[in-house]
Structure 1
């Protein structure tokens, strides 16, 4: 498609437009308490009106840019649907409950902080959700930490660190799928690239938790494991817990190592879990319903809603625990287990689609390039580019107030420049997650920050200093890149890790000079 002779925005107009978008989204999220969907849609309309009235960009061109943007992300949208199917089948078959059950066994009072970090990482890897960890297992761990004399902000920070390891690295996570879709990479190449920056950070955080945990090791005699045992007992009452729960995750892992595409790999995991459910005695309609609508808890939901009838339920299921503990654990587990299914992905799918509309409009009207080009022209090292992407992601979290936008907007901004620089697309997708995903929970007014603060009962600014993984991951990523470690060059599938750091964006200066005559300040 040939573009019309629309004018190019100058830095001033681009900044004003970006400020207007930030104000619309910020007021909608913070002032009115809305979900992000409508504010983002209104921001897209505002950006489009500026483009049409001030710059003279035709509606047809903006429409085609939006369609192109959405089309480029269809793979990720399909994978999100596959994730819903996978999680629904894995919970129904006892795969996720089994991983949680065995994950609890690593808890030890002497190394509580380290165990908490690893447990939350395991659960979030299994579910792909940091929110699921914070709102369920995290709540229980906060209570145990307080009983051991461990400060709640410290425990909350470690819980969030573990939760965001899985949120970032799990193929079931929505952000792990959005980032490569926006950057033009693919899921498993993206995950392999993140290992370079995330695994060293996790090791550093593990060392920190061991050092900090030494001062609390003397409190081991006060450790109360009743809630953990109660959760394991109730999981065992609802699901056939056995080591066989590892089969579907191992199947997906093996297929990933063999470089099978993500979509058929996830379908294979769903099929394996569905077979397990049928073997466990569930009917075919029940299995298919879990894939569509997600899992509906039974035993745990009964305890959550039992009221004064808890004692009778305990006797009925042969469980031994205090009635108050049974009610609390039932509420926690029913919230964790009521998840998955195609329907569970619709909220995220609609939000991502609307965010992509905004990204398409901003890209076609040239606001992003107007702000980006002067900064990129000064970049001479890959580390500088990575730092610029991370700063853009953090600013997006602060001013746009949404984790998805902190990935989508900078991703669209830098996509073309990264492609023309010779760097692999996975460098962009990795960096978007290193900062966009990780720092969202550190901002009080993002959905991530607000949720974790509410769920864990600790204000965002109090747990922030202890979110070691979230704080250190962007720093480690920048340092490694400046040192030339883990830098991918070339196209995904054909790219190689090379220790060279020089980069040149002078081609942008040439592009800018060709169109500078038609600039609107």
Structure 2
């Protein structure tokens, strides 16, 4: 970093060791907090930001005013994502009280068939995650029911868990209601729906391969008759508490229509929440005052069925406050490290071995995975990796969607595979599974980073900033499959 003179001191050059101090403190404090106190990661992150500030002020001679300016600029750059997250809370609550989410779950459950249990499990988890924008809620509700059904079929629990996680994270990854799906483009500087479109190139092949594997694995269990009592209980509860009708699919269809027309994210999602209110009044007879309360505080389900109540008690603007606060805490740390050159020091260290497009994307995937392992938090994996590589991708003429896609392909997808990561610990506790044993069956999560790396080295679906390079980008499905078919010829 270029030296700048102040009234009393000269700012020193930021080196890798300076960045290493707050990062090591973050890893240690997060590990202690998550393991021994079971508290949220907010406090360790904010304290790590203070440690980074001390290093900058007393080790590099930065003024606090300069550091604060960097913090505020970094937080400001991600305020759109924070607003979207709050609106997503409104949408989730709106779509539950209107019966949209119950209808999606109802028809998803209707496809259950013993001969296709494993691929159906993937699809049901996918539907639940897309509908709620949350892989955790899918696992904690539909996932629990599927674990019981799988046990009745004689299917090993680790395989069922792998199918649940594969489907849930596929749905979470492409849902515009997902917090990580909104956070990744915010960190990379890309647009939400451009990001989702770009992810289809890695998620669709990964999903197809996973479905094929689960279908083949499930064939030997197809002759066992399923005990559908828990499944019927969920269906009966949904029907008795909501007016289930295919007409409710109009609400998500209209919202998706706006997306296809490339309408801005915030107006589109706001429209989705408001049209859900119209559906709530028309189809469920909901009073307007109750709908407004749900937008703020979320929907509370009191059906008496624990699985259904667990699935549908969520949403509302208030439900996103913790996530928004966590993002701001992480951006506090990121703002300090960016303004004082610490992130650049880390980037320079990585770039010393990442010279090509393939090696850069591969380094991004490894960094995201390393943060997931060391910092044990998928939000940090996305935020820290995104801040490190954002400018590097622009210098290499790569479009921001390439970075946001890589952040999700590894940062989001590998988080449930690590037992001490918040996502891994949650899945283990919720689904009642031992650590590690389910990891080999999370095919979607394992395949997605591999395909992303292959694309980086082969040039498939790589998008550039330069117009001339963009004309040459290999993004069409026709090119992709043609390339795959010609491998080895």
TM-score (norm 1): 0.87
Q: Structure 2: which 5+ runs fail to align?
A: 476-489
1:247 and 2:250 aligned: yes
Aligned length: 467
* 1:28-427 equivalence runs, <5 A: 28-219=33-224, 221=225, 223-280=226-283, 281-298=285-302, 300=303, 303=304, 330-427=305-402
Q: Would you say the 8 A contact 2:19–2:337 is kept in 1?
A: no
**How far apart in 2 are the matches of 1:413 and 1:459?**
34
Q: Please give the alpha-carbon distance, in whole angstroms, between the structure 1 residues aligned to 2:404 and 2:20.
A: 25
Q: Structure 2 CA distance, aligned partners of 1:282 and 1:268?
A: 18
In structure 1, distance between residues paired with 2:26 and 2:144: 36
3-state SS, counterpart of residue 31 of structure 1:
helix
Contact 1:29 1:39 in 2 (8 A): no
Corresponding residue to 1:6 among 11, 25, 37: 11
Query: How many Å separate the matches in 1 of 2:253 and 2:414?
Result: 30
| Deviation for aligned residue 1:464 | 1.1
The offset of 1:75, in angstroms, is 0.7
1:470 corresponding residue in structure 2? 445
Work out whether residues 93 and 295 of structure 2, in 8 Å CA contact, stay in contact via their aligned partners in 1: yes
1:21 and 1:47 in contact (8 A); partners too: no
Q: CA deviation at 1:297?
A: 1.3
The Cα shift of 1:497 comes to 6.5
Counterparts of 2:228 and 2:265, CA distance in 1:
39
Matched residues in 1 for 2:377 and 2:349: separation? 26
- Residue by residue over 1:77-104, the C-alpha shift from the partner in whole angstroms, topping out at 9 and shown as x without a partner, is 0100110110110000000000000001
**How far does residue 16 in structure 1 lie from its aligned partner after superposition?**
3.6
Give yes or no for contact 2:368–2:407 (8 Å, CA) kept in 1. Answer: yes
Q: In structure 2, which of residues 422, 430, 434 is the aligned counterpart of residue 447 of structure 1?
A: 422
TM-superposed deviation, 1:486:
0.6
SS at match of 1:9: coil
Q: 1:495 to 1:173 in 2, by over 3 A?
A: farther
Mark the CA change 1:132 to 1:3 in structure 2 (over 3 Å): closer, same or farther: farther
CA distance in 2 between counterparts of 1:229 and 1:157 reads: 24
Q: Distance in 1 between matches of 2:361 and 2:139?
A: 29
Distance 1:48 1:491 in 2: 37
Contact 1:8–1:365 (Cα < 8 Å) also in 2: no
Tell whether the 8 Å contact from 1:129 to 1:173 is kept in structure 2 after alignment.
yes
Unaligned 5+ residue runs, structure 1?
Answer: 304-329, 501-521
Instruction: Kindly state the Cα deviation for residue 446 of structure 1 after the two structures are TM-superposed.
Output: 1.6
Contact 1:424 1:495 in 2 (8 A): no
Q: In the alignment, is residue 480 of structure 1 matched against residue 455 of structure 2?
A: yes
Secondary structure at the aligned position of 2:364 is classed as helix
1:442 CA displacement? 0.9
C-alpha separation between the residues in 1 aligned to 2:201 and 2:317?
A: 32
Contact 1:175 1:437 survives alignment (8 Å): yes
| Contact 2:23–2:48 (8 Å) recurs in 1 | no
CA distance in 2, matches of 1:62, 1:175: 27
Deviations 1:304-358 (A, max 9, x none): xxxxxxxxxxxxxxxxxxxxxxxxxx01111111111111111111111111101
How far has the Cα of 1:25 moved from its partner?
A: 2.0
Contact 2:91 2:272 in 1 (8 A): yes
C-alpha change, 1:495 and 1:37, in structure 2 (3 Å) is farther
Q: State which drifts further: 263-272 or 91-100.
A: 263-272
How far residue 11 of structure 1 moved from its aligned partner, in angstroms, is 2.6
What's the offset of the Cα at 1:495?
5.8
- 3-state SS, counterpart of residue 360 of structure 1: helix
Cα distance in 2 for residues equivalent to 1:374 and 1:334? 49
SS in 1 for 2:437: helix
> Runs ≥4 in structure 1, deviation > 4 angstroms?
2-5, 494-497
What is the CA RMSD across the aligned residues, in angstroms?
Answer: 1.7
- Matches of 2:456 and 2:422, distance apart in 1: 30
Contact 1:188 1:256 in 2 (8 A): yes
Cα pair 1:136 1:336 within 8 Å, conserved? yes
| Superposed displacement of residue 34, structure 1 | 1.4
